[in-house]
Amino acid sequence: MTGNKIIEIMQKVGATQLSETTDLLYGEVISTSPLSLKIDNRFIITENFIILSALCKEKTITITHDTSGAEVVILWRGIIVGDKLRLIRLGRGQKFYAIEREGGLTI
């Protein structure tokens, strides 16, 4: 499923040959509002160029109890300043797809 989503995004930004247009990069979150990332200590990109995967967004579920009502549980948190992200560069740098945070999913 995730692989299909990545290919779909690559097609939307006009990628023709994957070897020419994609790279695995690492970035650090330097701001969350507005979102900006420092890539490989070389340059900064803003939210206009970033696509966040579901693993980089906060995920919650609601658990309903018979007696005490509902409870919202955070499965994993969203990104915060200082997080290190794995990115795929698409379309010769026109978009960057944030795959996940280094260190996995944490609360």
**Model pLDDT, residue 67:** 81
The two tokens of residue 28 are 């650090």
**Model pLDDT, residue 16:** 52
pLDDT, mean of each 10-residue run, the chain (107 residues): 65 56 87 94 93 93 86 91 93 87 76
Indicate the Cα dihedral angle 21, 2, 37, 48, nearest 10°: 70
Instruction: Tell me the residue type at 91.
Output: G
**Model pLDDT, residue 7:** 67
Q: Which residues contact 13 (CB under 8 A, 6 or more apart)?
A: 90, 91, 94, 95
